[in-house]
Structure 1
Amino acid sequence: MGGNIVVVLKGYPRLSETFIAQELLELERAGYNLHLFSLRRPTDKACHPIHDEIKAKITYLPEYLHEEPMRVLRGWMSSRRLKGYRLAVRTFLKDLLRDRTRNRIRRFGQALVLARELPGDTDWLYAHFIHTPGSVTYYGHLMTGVGWSCSAHAKDIWTSPDWELSEKLDNASWTATCTRSGFEHLRNLATDKGSVHLVHHGLDLSRFPPPEASSSKRDGSQADDPVRIVTVGRAVAKKGLDTLLDALALLPPDIHWKWTHIGGGVLYKELAEQITRLGLSDRAEMIGAKPQEFVLQTYRDSDLFVLPCRIAADGDRDGLPNVLVEAQSQGLACISSPISGIVELIEDGRNGLLTPPDDAQQLSRAIEELVRDPVRRGQMGAAGARRVTTEFDHLVEIKRLLALFAEVGVEAGYQEAAQ
């Protein structure tokens, strides 16, 4: 078998998913020929430099079936002649009885187009996220007979019903996931426990080299040089940003600080209104999504990283936010919550602090503690940087992924990343 892989993604490119772009680039460097099929067109106005380095061709499937009816019709007319079409239809109808949504129908329509437009030399299908992209890839696999595997992350694991996860796990050749908690959950749902693998994302340390300057000595006592607190992440419920704003409002008046949030998200307007309501407009700013080089410089200019994650009402939660790994690589002390894979990175009291989710008072006390003690902040930041360097190097993790492709016979040519 060759090394031509079709990668199915929910959206591409996305500023918030640098971990996917990093993986795609390393697969190309390893000698794989990639063709990306995205279920959605990009919504971000900018992209990271790494996206320009990825050479894979991109095909955008119909985001809504009614927008490209002839393309969907051609997909159906072509796919119905495939040997696995009837099995795919039976599987889809069984799923539809348990999930009677337009989204389910859209997934099957996108799979029809995927099956028709697959390059003729495709050796493997690989889905990023086990929910929507996983469904499109699963149906496409049934129609075409091309083998498939999946990478599961966070929301897709925790908001998908167990029946759906179990059936995909049992059908895919292998599934990788990026946190211990996600790994254990999926493994419990899989008939073949050995088909589920833990593969951390890791960080490309060449893009996040250690800063030249030492950690700052700001302690919040100077009005003209406030402590700089930064948060990077989408404005969505699971990030706990409303709790963070409440915590900032509780800080003693003698502490001078400035908070910067980088990222878009559906709660952006709501959080901006909360800032105004709490009287924080002169010290808190939300500046939207930014390219990676801007984020890197912001890490280096800041004193403390805070991301108080929670489990959202619908069960959604983070795995291990890559931004925590990025911030620690720059020697930033981090405050977060003991949710999912965060505990695999942050050891409370050693390389950061962990506070209970939704507890603004404890979070405020933790922020105050590290704001007033720059020496301890620096020690935690240094410990975090060492941990990232020794345990979260992406070149170590990509070897595990390359081995999974090799085990199913998908062989690359030039194995640069594995050396």
Structure 2
Amino acid sequence: MKSQKKIVVILKGYPRLSETFIAQELLGLERAGFDLTLISMRHPTDAKRHPIHDEIKAPVHYLPEYLYQEPLRVLRGIARSRKLPGFWAAVRAFLKDLRRDPTPNRVRRFGQAAVLCAEWPEGANWLHAHFIHTPASVARYTSMMNGTPWTCSAHAKDIWTSPDWELAGKLSETRWTVTCNQPGFDRLRILANGKEHVHLSYHGLDLDRFAPFAGTHSLRDGSDPGNPVTIVSVGRAVDKKGYDILLKALTLLPADLSWRFVHIGGGANLAALKALAGKLGIADRITWHGALDQKDVLEHYRRSDLFALACRITADGDRDGLPNVLVEASSQRLVCVSTNISGIPELLQDGENGRVVPPEDPEALAKALETLIRDPGLRKRLGDAAERRVRTEFDHHVSIRQLKDLFETEWRAA
């Protein structure tokens, strides 16, 4: 049976601490009986890895990250791929794409596809890309060359920063595409031009890994300087996470409130954010932990009083879909404050199971934070409601069953 279900999964990078939702899905598919081979376009850069990565049994193969680094491997890949029946069709598609996107990145994807075809895992008969931008480009050229059917999981940045022409072209060729939030689904459905093979599939959460919190969150109300309220946030220090807005909101909190802010995550903007905290005069109230593994993150959810994430849409259209950290925090009865972009309102309803404010609005964010800091009873009510919603509607087994059915249905059709 396994030989009929061997899937090559193309990933931008693996393993990655910020992509637990992908690792969770890979493990779920393995447990559902699929034989996976992981193809990563980049080598890992994180110093740590989550325990879930050690549970995934699939072998991992790395493509040349930059073609000039492994020229003989690339030339050998092109020489072998030229013998495939679809090679010249892939060349024509690549040249057409290159005219619209004349970048080294585009050339790199074609070279990586040629290497993948030349080093194709024995017995693999399906191709799946995580992210509809660069991994899907490699998948598309590979599929053209060797005739393997392909599918795709689209998420957030890849949907909103890719041009319409490229998304439409890929959607016309995938056997199916899934995405994890309603706005992304709506955009892809329109670009699919009537082809009803785009599906909405929330990632959900492995509720065994995020078991119910048996303890209680504190009753701190910000009135005791010796026992401040703890605000935690987990996310990469990048523009779309809105940490500059969050820091500004913290400075707007009344002077009589005692609080501490804890940030978990790496990211390119980390040094700039630390400098901003110093400029705003709040550096001594912030702890920057850097990237932590899932077990440590879970402990921070349980010992904190509220979670904050000021997601925004950046100038180039980049944005989150539905950040998994909001689902994780909610599973621990930790009340969340976030913004009303993308799929966040699909999890959080303002005043019912969290607080939701407009993006780019530090004043509104500060008011929401102040209300929750002063009122531990409200935090408990909203946190309890958040956990109920996650445990009834965001169980990852639902998404795994949906993916399993999609794979098997298209397998039979192909």
Range class of TM-score, shorter chain: over 0.9
Q: Are the aligned partners of 2:230 and 2:261 in contact in 1 as well (CA < 8 Å)?
A: yes
Query: What is the rounded CA distance, in whole Å, between the counterparts of 1:162 and 1:410 in structure 2?
Result: 30
Determine the structure 2 residue equivalent to 1:299.
301
- Give 1:90's aligned residue: 92
Other-structure match for 1:393: 395
Between the aligned partners of 2:164 and 2:244, the Cα distance in structure 1 is 30
Where structure 2 has 5 or more consecutive residues not aligned to the other structure, the ranges are none
Q: CA deviation at 1:222?
A: 0.9
Deviation at 1:397, TM superposition (A): 1.5
Is the partner of 1:122 in helix, strand or coil?
A: coil
**Partner residue of 1:9?**
11
Q: Does 1:43 pair with 2:48? A: no
Matched letter for residue 93 of structure 1: L
Q: Which amino acid aligns with 2:35?
A: N
Paired amino acid for 1:99: D
Q: 1:129–1:151: 8 Å Cα contact kept in structure 2?
A: yes
Choose 296-305 or 184-193, whichever is displaced more.
184-193
Name the residue aligned to 1:57: 59
Q: Give the corresponding residue for 2:326.
A: 324
CA-based RMSD: 1.0
**Structure-2 residue corresponding to 1:198:** 200
Distance 2:226 2:310 in 1: 27
- Aligned counterparts of 2:252 and 2:184: Cα–Cα separation in 1: 34
Q: Distance in 1 between matches of 2:337 and 2:275?
A: 24
Q: 2:338 aligns with which of 332, 336, 339?
A: 336
Aligned with residue 407 of structure 2, among 391, 405, 416: 405
Give 2:103's aligned residue.
101
CA contact (8 A) 1:4 1:32 kept: yes
For 1:317, give the aligned amino acid.
Answer: R
Moved more, 188-197 or 379-388: 188-197
How far does the alpha carbon of each residue in 1:248-284 deviate from its partner, in whole angstroms, 9 at most, with x for none? 0111111110100101111111101101111111101
CA contact (8 A) 1:247 1:360 kept: yes
Letter in 1 for 2:338: S
- Write the letter of the residue equivalent to 1:381: G
Question: In the TM superposition, what is the alpha-carbon distance from 1:388 to its structure 2 partner?
Answer: 0.0
* Cα distance, 1:120 vs structure 2: 2.5
Aligned equivalent of 1:365: 367
Q: Tell me what 2:351 maps to.
A: 349
**Equivalent residue letter for 1:73:** L
Choose which of 215, 228, 231 in structure 2 pairs with 1:229. Answer: 231
CA positional deviation for 1:76: 0.3
**Residues 328 and 384 in structure 1, CA contact (< 8 A), matched pair in contact too:** yes
Paired residue type of 1:185: R
1:216 deviates by 1.4
CA distance in 2, matches of 1:180, 1:191: 17
Q: What is the deviation of 1:192?
A: 4.0
Q: Tell me the equivalent position of 1:208.
A: 210
Distance 2:133 2:4 in 1: 27
SS of equivalent to 1:24: helix
Map of 1:417 onto structure 2: none
1:169-188 map, 5 Å: 169-188=171-190
Q: Deviations over 1:141-168 (max 9, x none)?
A: 0000011000000000000000000000
Shift of 1:193: 3.3
Asked whether the equivalents of residues 277 and 283 of structure 2 are also in contact (C-alpha less than 8 Å), the reply is yes
Between the aligned partners of 1:46 and 1:334, the Cα distance in structure 2 is 26
Deviation at 1:370, TM superposition (A): 0.5
Could you list the runs of 5+ residues in structure 1 that have no partner in the other structure? 412-419
- When structure 1 is superposed on structure 2, of 162-171 and 273-282 the one drifting more is 273-282
Contact kept, 8 Å, 1:2 with 1:410, in 2: the verdict is: no
- Whether the aligned pair in 2 keeps the contact of 1:181 and 1:340 (CA below 8 Å) is yes
- Cα pair distance change 1:192/1:404, threshold 3 Å: farther
Alpha-carbon distance between aligned partners in 2 of 1:126 and 1:23, rounded to the nearest angstrom: 12
Quote the residue 1:277 is aligned against. Answer: 279
Q: Confirm or deny: 8 A CA contact 1:337 1:357 kept in the other structure.
A: yes
Measured after TM superposition, the shift of residue 212 of structure 1 is 1.0
Contact 2:217 2:303 in 1 (8 A): no
**CA apart distance, 1:410:** 6.6
AA of the residue aligned to 1:313: A
Q: What amino acid does structure 1 have at the position aligned with 2:315? A: A
DSSP 3-state at the match of 1:409? helix
Opposite residue 149 of structure 2, the aligned amino acid is G
Answer yes or no: is the 8 Å Cα contact 1:3–1:410 preserved in 2: no
Q: CA deviation at 1:6?
A: 0.3
Residue 362 of structure 1: CA displacement?
Answer: 1.0
Residue deviations 1:310-353 (CA, integer Å, cap 9, x gap)? 00111000000000000000001110000010010000111111
For residues 55 and 263 of structure 1, the distance between their equivalents in structure 2, rounded to whole angstroms, comes to 26
Q: 2:20 matched to which residue of 1?
A: 18
TM (normalized to structure 2)?
0.98
Secondary structure at the aligned position of 1:408 is classed as: helix
Deviation digits for residues 120-155 of structure 1, max 9, x if unmatched? 311100000000000000000000001100000000
Percent of residue pairs identical: 59
| Offset at residue 45 of structure 1 (A) | 0.4
Shift of the alpha carbon at 1:290?
0.4
Measured after TM superposition, the shift of residue 214 of structure 1 is: 1.8
Match of 2:34 among 32, 35, 47: 32
Partner of 1:253: 255
Asked if the contact 1:183/1:198 (under 8 Å) is kept, the reply is yes
Q: Which amino acid aligns with 1:297?
A: E
Following TM superposition, by how much is the alpha carbon of 1:191 offset from its aligned partner in structure 2, in angstroms? 2.7
Contact 1:76 1:112 in 2 (8 A): yes
Alpha-carbon separation, structure 2, partners of 1:108 and 1:410: 29
* SS at 1:340 equivalent: coil
